[in-house]
Structure 1
Amino acid sequence: MTTASPLPEAFPFDGIVFDLDGTLIDSVPDLALALNAMLDEEGLPRVRHEQVPAFVGQGARVLVTKAMAAVGRPIAEGAAGAAELDRLHDRFVVLYEEKPVVGTRTYDGAEAALRDLHARGVRLGVCTNKPHGPTLGVMEALGLAPLFTAVVGGGLIPEKKPDPAPLLLTLEKMGVAPGRAALVGDTPYDVGAARAAGVPVVMVDFGYSPVPPAEAGADVLISSYAELPAAFARLAAVAKPA
């Protein structure tokens, strides 16, 4: 298993915020399980596992909307469509919360990197568009929750990444100024939120980005958590934290 290399002695940030799905965890197996259970109940075809990463990143409503379009029953516009989306979204969330970690796993080196940062006294946060309740459940089940100072999931406030509001709220709850923080994510939504909040950003290239990761505009791109310490050193030069 790949592990993170030691962090530099003079760590340049007070807090690090992580996205969750596609960044710290591979959750596609359980998202697909819940989606297909929902589709079974609707008498619709199932989605294939390899389709699901393209649905992830903008929250559960978008995930359900994309899944419905993929199986040939797109959500209609207007009040009737909105009501149907509400119903399907709520049912998906219930099904997902019932079995959130059957196949979900942390990426190689992710937990070791988190524990290194936590042991050093760096405050950690999660900022995700994933619904807040399932986010907490998954983190508890994987044993990650005690490492984090703040968790902000989808629905806690109306805005979602790439709006900076969820990231700024996460930093506020962490007690860390944007100029003393960095974000680690996997999609352009993470990059957009970081840019708008004035926070430097590392992007992993193994997540669920809908565009080629190298084209998403992150400050640093990494392929494994072993590269994270060097990425933070490079970010320090970009951010020049006060």
Structure 2
Amino acid sequence: MITPCPFDGVVFDLDGTLIDSVPDLALALNAMLDEEGLPHVRPEQVPAFVGQGARVLVTKAMAAVGRPIPEGAAGAATLERLHDRFVALYEAEPVRGTRPYDGAVAVLDALRAQGVTLGVCTNKPQGPTLGVLEALGLSGHFSAVVGGGVIPERKPDPAPLLLTLERMGVAPDRAVMVGDTPYDVGAARAAGVPVILVDYGYSPVPPAEAGADVLVSSFAEVPAALARLAATRAKPA
């Protein structure tokens, strides 16, 4: 039986939290690199590129293959061209190998059955985010989805998370963020939202050092972590 959720809303990061998207990100990156006549990145390199949006992902991939994007106007134009091409390649086939993490769908179903409002807040561009959620049959679980580009700010800025909560109709003090990177922790802290971190995702630092309120090792542990977090917050100072 799933532990009852004591919060009104839960906001999830996407890549590295709800879904393992590395296989398809690697395929799209390598298709882009093929067009540029450049060597491939290895799939195991890709998690280190993820978390700050598609432009950073492309920038890190180019550096990894020995072709860093230069500074200045010419470099900015190159980045925009490569970004747009990567996104187009990724959107064309976003779920060849992407899957929800074990236990994710069952937990989402259980939380919704309890009347908990769910949302997604990710730095992944909005178009691919919506496409992936739809293709995986997950879009119906969420009352709000805010991806990169919906507003100029990105996590760890709190603005995307606060917008997600506004669209969900949930106050920050009645919500929890679940993510996998320091960018999720930073956004949650700045928004006044407690945060659970999964330790299996794409964090660029050891998850235990990212400053989350609770650390879990599987998605199935999230409901119990929500209850534990609520109990901790209810204790007198």
Name the counterpart of 1:88: 82
Name the counterpart of 2:200: 206
Name the counterpart of 1:120: 114
Aligned mates of 2:128, 2:68 — CA distance in 1? 25
Identity value in percent: 81
1:238 deviates by 4.1
1:225 deviates by 1.9
Counterpart amino acid of residue 137 in structure 2: G
Question: Within the alignment, does 1:155 sit opposite 2:149 as a pair?
Answer: yes
Name the counterpart of 1:75: 69
The correspondence for 1:99, drawn from 69, 86, 93, is 93
Name the counterpart of 1:3: none
The correspondence for 1:219, drawn from 210, 213, 223, is 213
Query: Structure 2: which 5+ runs fail to align?
Result: none
Question: Within the alignment, does 1:140 sit opposite 2:97 as a pair?
Answer: no
1:8 deviates by 3.1
SS in 1 for 2:177: strand
Contact 1:125/1:171 (<8 A) preserved: yes
Per-residue CA deviations over 1:166-186 (Å, capped at 9, x if unaligned) read 000000000000000001000
Aligned mates of 1:130, 1:61 — CA distance in 2? 10
SS in 1 for 2:107: helix
Counterpart amino acid of residue 32 in structure 1: A
Normalised by the size of structure 1, how large is the TM-score? 0.95
Per-residue CA deviations over 1:186-239 (Å, capped at 9, x if unaligned) read 000000000000000000000000000000000000001221122001211344
User: How many residues are paired up?
Assistant: 235
Query: Structure 1: which 5+ runs fail to align?
Result: 1-5
Aligned mates of 1:108, 1:13 — CA distance in 2? 23
The correspondence for 1:25, drawn from 8, 19, 35, is 19
Contact 1:200/1:239 (<8 A) preserved: no
Name the counterpart of 2:224: 230
Per-residue CA deviations over 1:14-73 (Å, capped at 9, x if unaligned) read 000000000000000000000000000000010001000000000000000000000000
The correspondence for 1:7, drawn from 2, 17, 25, is 2
